[in-house]
Amino acid sequence: MEDVKIENADAVERPATGGGARRSSKAKGARARSAVSAPMNGAGAAPRRRARRRAAGAGGGGGSGRRLGLWLIGAKGDVATTVSVGIEALRLGLTDTTGIVTECHELAGTDLVPVEGIVLGGYDVRGGSPLDAARNVDAESGLFGAALLDAVAPGLEAFGARIKSGFIQRSGPAVEEIATAAIRKKVARPSRWVSGVKRDLARFARENALDAVVVVNVASTEPTDEPPACYASADALLAAIAKDDAGIHASVLYATGAIEAGCPYVNFTPSFGSSIPALAELAERRGVPHMGRDGKTGETLVKAALAPLFVARNLQVLSWTGQNILGNRDGRILEDPTAKRSKSIGKDQVLKSVLGDRLGTSRVGIDFVPSLGDWKTAWDLIHFQGFLGTKMTLQFTWQGADSALAAPLVIDLARLAERAARSGRSGLLTDLAVFFKNPDGVEDHALVHQLDLLLAFAEELRSEGAAVLEAGD
């Protein structure tokens, strides 16, 4: 498998002498709207391009014949469970591709791996199986139905055999509570854990005849309190891992293992993951694409579409208040005040970015209501002022099945990250900003501008594919 570059899975690299500064290129065309964000929000420039790209399809042919491994961190959670049920349902012809952005005609001709070519594996810290998890989601929220679960059961059982035990270092008390006793008793061994991630990804690729592996973090939200000093540079982080520093978050250790293994990494959560300067630098050094942070699926998606309206009409937003209630595991984890703070920051960022000084006050509330299961309700009230000081209001209510909104985006991101790696891209994939609440390396949160980035990326991929075909002729 040429895209997974594992040289020594048993070793964590020691700091390199001389630093290893990142290289970047200036944004151009549609990327001119994107800007480098502040440190700790994915420090790094718009995605650089290697001096010489591999030809599209190099290392295994075009996307249609490839097998892609999707390694999910949080593999028994609601989102991962819905991904697994959805992929099996698509494979069996029991559902259609509604909700999967990469199946839109605007992204046709980009040479993506077909959904049927995706093989699932991953980590989790809970007991039970993916089929147990799917039955629980269905019992709480009615997403699947008994007939569908019976049909996909063999595929979920095969997925369960490819799930390994994870670790919970600095994941917060709410995550520790749902972990098995054996996981909770693990002594901090970051160096072994990172080496283990590299080994597991290599074995996953080998045993399943995969052409590439993409790692996506869909685990429960970690507290993102003050980051350790070692997050500032790749060398400092690698040195801390080699010393088995117990202060490093689990999401950072998973991301380090993925990047060291040469696997594209996506952070679909508000946790640190690869969204720290150290891993932005390491990803550039290793030539690995990555992106995050926190999937944009519901209320924030509406905000990103709606906020530019007030700018276009020169209206002053006096206050924007949003209240979210949800009952799934995500809601339970967000009962922890530190995890809730991590989530709220990302949800509020879009308004500050789009409205600027047109925004008065904003507030985001998140409450856990167990009876709702996977169904999330967001109610927003916007109090705004127009001509002659006239004050008016706009309200909206968003009710959606959280995991059914998130799962197709995970599939999209895996396919796009694999395609980016295959075309020779590395570093931050800012073209994928439209999928995230707080996209690393992008300050423009207007949905239409972020969509322009994705469409421009798709056009680049089509042009590269056409050039390869022409060269072959």
CB atoms within 10 A of CB 12: 21
Q: How many CB atoms lie within 10 A of CB 184?
A: 11
**Residues of the chain under the 70 pLDDT cut:** 1-62, 331-332, 334-336, 338-347, 467-473
The number of CA neighbours under 13 Å toward the Cβ of 166 is: 36
Amino acid 90 reads: L
Exposure b/e, 350-368, CB count within 10 A at least 16 = b: bbebbbeebbeebebebeb
SS3 content of the chain, % helix, strand, coil (to 5): 45, 15, 35
Q: What residue ranges do the domains of the chain occupy? A: 29-295+404-472, 299-401
pLDDT at 17: 35
Specify the CATH number for 299-401; select among 3.40.50.2020, 3.40.50.1820, 3.30.360.10, 3.40.309.10.
3.30.360.10
Q: Is 153 exposed, middle or buried (0-12, 13-18, 19+ CB in 10 A)?
A: middle
Residue 82, amino acid: T
CB atoms within 10 A of CB 164: 15
Query: Which pLDDT does position 453 carry in this prediction?
Result: 98
The Cα–Cα gap between 447 and 442 comes to 12
User: In angstroms, rounded to a whole number, what is the distance separating the alpha carbons of residues 271 and 253?
Assistant: 12
Please give the DSSP secondary-structure letter assigned to residue 46.
S
CB of 101 within 8 A of CB of 107? Answer: yes
* Residues contacting 362, CB < 8 A, separation 6+: 319, 320, 321, 322, 348, 351, 352
**What whole-number distance in Å separates Cα of residue 78 and Cα of residue 87?**
14
pLDDT of residue 46: 35
pLDDT tens for each residue of 332-368: 676 667 666 665 666 678 999 999 999 999 999 889 8
How far from 156 is each of 167, 213, 215, 217, 374, CA to CA, in Å? Answer: 22, 19, 19, 19, 20
Question: Is-contact 259 217, C-beta < 8 A?
Answer: no
| Spatial CB neighbours of 382, under 8 Å, sequence gap ≥ 6 | 306, 310, 317, 319, 320, 393, 394, 395
Predicted confidence at residue 201, as pLDDT, reads: 98
Q: Which two tokens stand for residue 167?
A: 């670790």
| pLDDT value of residue 226 | 82
Distance CA 25, CA 147 (A): 51
What pLDDT score does 203 carry? 98
For residue 301, the model assigns a pLDDT of: 95
Q: Where are the alpha helices (DSSP H) in 276-387?
A: 277-286, 299-312, 329-333, 337-355
User: Superfamily for 29-295+404-472?
Assistant: NAD(P)-binding Rossmann-like Domain (3.40.50.720)
The whole-model pTM stands at: 0.85
Residue type at position 319: S
For 234, residues 6+ apart whose C-beta sits below 8 A from its C-beta are 15, 16, 20, 278, 279, 281, 282, 285
Closest CA to 269 of 330, 316, 319: 330
What pLDDT was estimated at residue 434? Answer: 97
